[in-house]
Structures are given as structure tokens and as C-alpha cells.
Amino acid sequence: MKHFTKKSAFTLIELLVVIAIIAILAAILFPVFAQAREKARQSSCISNAKQIGLAMFQYVQDSDEFLPFSNLFDSNGGEHRWYDGVFPYIKNGSPVKGAGGGIFHCPSYPTNQDAEYGVDDHLCPPAWGGTPSQTAFPLLNSAVLSTPGDTILMAEKGQSDAGKPLPGGPNGSSWPWFNGWEGWWTDTVGNPAGSVADGTDYSVVPQAGRANAIGGGSNCDETPNLTKTVGDDYGNCPTSVRYRHNGQCTCLFVDGHVKGMGKGKISWFKNIYDPGAWQNISGYNVYTGEYPPF
């Protein structure tokens, strides 16, 4: 007599339970994987900043300890930016406006364009009025800086849609600096003066009365959404430090060290303002025509 055994199989309920468990595990693990991937990208970005910093300090040594300009215009109207000056010490990527790439490109940056990293425009003066070889204020000798270990020289910043498709190239072109003036950072001088803890950090929170204010009101940290504008105006995303690496911004300090700074952790008074730099412009703010309250 033949004996027949019943085949074992998953019931519908068991199958649904397994699917639910997989979905729960995926929901838990995917954010962890995303954070780990972003941490790896941050490591690459920090490495970029360190290499750029080494090149920049070689440039400074060969320039009688003067920091580079943000940008200058020659007699033919051609623009020369700070990374053009340091590029001979690197020779990685491209300093061509609208190109970027190599160590000038952060893997978390939405597009590959120039000036993904920007210098503080109070430490590295920009062109003023378009006159050849004229900057907003004199070049700064690094020896006069009072707090090199706390002062940010270069940071990653927002993207720009300016110049698409030409003359900035297919990916656009950005400003070569980030805003260093107090008014772009905080709404009060605080105690001590300029302390963001006593005011609103405009690198994180939108500034009242500005459609695409510095910080959260702009689409600066996301993959580009063409239904929105990230703008090319001064004071918008292209001249604002950004926090793409799990809420951190890669910053190069004047003394050469590099680290990630979290949202709301950059104090204008401690990390942007430096007495020596402000003395370099005789206390006069070229953007507003105002004197600082110090």
C-alpha cells in the first residue's frame, strides 16, 4: 500500500508576514546605508579640501604670505579666480569656468560646476567695479589674522543655475566665494558680538523678506528640481555655505585643518569674523556702506 505525504508550503499569511518583516528591515537599514554612503562622500570631500588647502598655502608661501584674491579682471575683461591661482600646485581637475571636476568636485554636489568650494570674501577680496586688478579691499597678509585655528577660509557652498548652457558651461557657473558679512549670518550682534546663539543663523533659517533666502528657504542641498530655482543672485545659494553631508559642511580653516561643521554650529563671531581681516578693510563694509559695531 502506498503512503502519500502532504507537501509543506508557505501559507498566504506566512508569506505576508515574511514580506512585512523584509519591509521593516529595509525601512530600518536603508537610512543607515544612505548615511554610510554620505559619510564616505564626506570623507572624499574632506580629502578634496585638504588637498586644496595644501595648494593654497603653497601659493601663500610663494606670494609673500598674502592670501589669494577671490577673483580679478584683466585689461581684456577676462576673469581670474582664486582656484586659477592655486591650480598649478594641484593639477587635478579643471579650473576652467563652468567645468570643475577632480578635487574641485564634491561627490554630493548636485552638478559638476566650478566654485563648488568658495573662499571667505573678507579674507580673499573679490573684484570691485570691474576695473582691472582692483579688488574690494587690499589683499590680506595671513600674518595679521588673530584666530587662524577658528577662522574658516574655504567651505563648500550652494549650487547655481547661472550660465546654462553658456557661458558658464552645461552645468552652470557659481560665485567663487561665500558671504562673510555679518548680516548674511545673524540678525543680532549678540553677546559676544556676532554670536549666532543669540540670534538667527541665516545659513540654516530663511531670512525674512527674501524669496530665496540663505538657508532653508532655498533648494540648495537637494538634487536640482527644475520647477524651483536655486538662483544665481548674490546672497542666494551660490554664496551660502551648505550642509550636504548628513547635515555637515566641509570647512577649511586658516591654520590648514579641515572638519565638518554642523548646521547652526558655525558662529559668525568665532568662525567668520577675524579682527585682523576687518582691520584690513579699515572697518568699512563695502557691501552695505556700514561700519561694524566693534
Could you report the per-residue pLDDT of 110-121, keeping only the tens digit for each?
777 788 899 998
Q: Over the chain, what is the mean pLDDT? A: 74
Does the pLDDT of residue 101 top 50, yes or no?
A: yes
SS3 labels along 50-110: HHHHHHHHHHHHCCCCECCCCEEECCCCCEEEHHHHHHHHCCCCCCCCCCCCHHHCCCCCC
Could you report the per-residue pLDDT of 122-150, keeping only the tens digit for each?
899 887 655 556 666 778 888 888 889 99
Angle at 42 between CA 118 and CA 40, to 5 degrees: 155
Q: 3-state SS of the chain: helix, strand, coil percent to 5?
A: 30, 10, 60
For residues 204-211, average pLDDT: 58
pLDDT classification of 200: cutoffs 50, 70, 90 = low
pLDDT classification of 292: cutoffs 50, 70, 90 = very low
- Integer Cα distance of 94 and 83 in angstroms: 9
Residue 86 near residue 52 (C-beta atoms within 8 A): yes
H or E element in which residue 226 lies: none
Angle at 56 between CA 97 and CA 254, to 5 degrees: 120
pLDDT classification of 47: cutoffs 50, 70, 90 = very high
Does the pLDDT of residue 210 top 80, yes or no?
A: no
For residues 166-181, average pLDDT: 70
Closest CA to 145 of 287, 279, 294: 279
Could you report the per-residue pLDDT of 244-269, keeping only the tens digit for each?
898 899 999 999 999 999 887 888 88
Which of residues 53 and 96 earns the better pLDDT score?
Answer: 53
Phi/psi zone of residue 253: left (φ > 0), alpha (ψ -120 to 50 degrees), beta?
beta
Closest CA to 177 of 266, 69, 251: 69
pLDDT classification of 157: cutoffs 50, 70, 90 = confident
pLDDT classification of 44: cutoffs 50, 70, 90 = very high
pTM of the full predicted structure? 0.77
pLDDT at 184: 73
pLDDT at 217: 44
pLDDT at 268: 83
pLDDT at 253: 97
pLDDT classification of 10: cutoffs 50, 70, 90 = low
What is the layout of strands, in order, in the sheet containing 258-262?
Answer: 177-178, 117-120, 152-156, 248-253, 258-262
Could you report the per-residue pLDDT of 226-242, keeping only the tens digit for each?
334 445 555 567 788 88
